[in-house]
Amino acid sequence: MSDGTHDGQQPATQGIARRDALKAIAAAAMVPMLPESAAAPVAPAPRAPLPMFEEQPQAKRKGPRGTPTDPVLQVAKADWPNKLQLRELATLSALCDMIIPADAKSPSASAVGAPAYINEWASRPGGESSLVRVRGGLAWLDRESQTRFGKRFHLATLAQRTAICDDICYGPKAKPKHQFAAQFFDTIRDQTATAFYTTPQGWKDLGYIGNVAMPKFEGPNAEIRRKLGLE
């Protein structure tokens, strides 16, 4: 037999909603605590709606990129001044292009920004020893080229620059007087390769196609399988 209720709830003409009851209880509890002048009802002040969680402004992150203070690497930007001067960058560009020159397949290292990358890397906070090595090595290159050929390194011919690089490109065979320069060359070679092969031009040079779907995976070719002893 129906009593006018649905699922145990009282009809709208009997009782009040639970939310309204809680409001009434809270208001009754507060009245004795207020001064007499405050007991009269006061219209609530208008207030703007709270923003959604994803709309809340985020604190601006500061600090070197690649650290927990700057995890959004897609929009990362160095916030320290670059310290290499134009004279040093000219020498550095010539050296980068000795390490990765332009060819029919790809541009040179300087054309894709390797010197700027090395400048930022050497100028980073906490990288003082790297900056000393880079600056010292660039000064050595210019002085050595001036001594041998009467001109700065970036103004020397390809053959002249090659002669200097041959003396410092492999540390174990470098003369004792060239050991510092060999360490410097090793550093610049590593950083030049890092800068170049992390660009689209460098990926193309390697034949790297990126994360793309392959309709079929053939596995290693016959030559590789023979070298691995699989055939």
Report the range of poorest mean pLDDT among 101-110, 134-143, 219-228: 219-228
Output the pLDDT for position 26: 53
Residue 42's pLDDT band (cuts 50, 70, 90) = low
Residue 215's pLDDT band (cuts 50, 70, 90) = confident
Handedness of CA 201, 206, 207, 212 (dihedral sign): negative
Q: pLDDT tens digit string along 113-126?
A: 999 999 999 999 99
Q: How many CB atoms lie within 10 A of CB 187?
A: 17
Output the pLDDT for position 202: 93
Q: CA-CA distance, 77 to 126, in Å (whole number)?
A: 17
Residue 216 lies in a domain: no
Helix (H) or strand (E) holding 193: helix 179-196
Q: CA-CA distance, 27 to 111, in Å (whole number)?
A: 73
Which residues are within 8 A (CB) of 92 and not within 5 positions of it... i.e. 6 or more apart? 84, 115, 118, 119, 134, 138, 188
Report the range of poorest mean pLDDT among 56-65, 74-83, 194-203, 208-217: 56-65
What is the domain extent for residue 113?
86-206
Residue 191 lies in a domain: yes
Contact 142, 150 (CB under 8 A): no
Q: CA-CA distance, 182 to 188, in Å (whole number)?
A: 10
Q: CA-CA distance, 173 to 179, in Å (whole number)?
A: 9
Residue 76 lies in a domain: no
Q: What angle do CA 204, 209, 215 make, to 5 degrees?
A: 150
Mean pLDDT over residues 18-28, rounded?
54
Residue 202 lies in a domain: yes
Mean pLDDT over residues 116-140, rounded?
95
pLDDT tops 70 at residue 210: yes
**Percent of the chain with pLDDT strictly greater than 90:** 55
**Percent of the chain with pLDDT strictly greater than 70:** 66
Q: How many domains does the chain have?
A: 1
Output the pLDDT for position 35: 47
Residue 61 lies in a domain: no
pLDDT tops 50 at residue 50: no
Residue 176's pLDDT band (cuts 50, 70, 90) = very high
Contact 173, 182 (CB under 8 A): no
pLDDT tops 70 at residue 229: yes
pLDDT tops 90 at residue 36: no
Residue 18's pLDDT band (cuts 50, 70, 90) = low
Report the range of poorest mean pLDDT among 6-15, 113-122, 161-170: 6-15
Residue 90 lies in a domain: yes
Q: CA-CA distance, 120 to 122, in Å (whole number)?
A: 6
Secondary structure of residue 9 in the 3-state scheme: strand
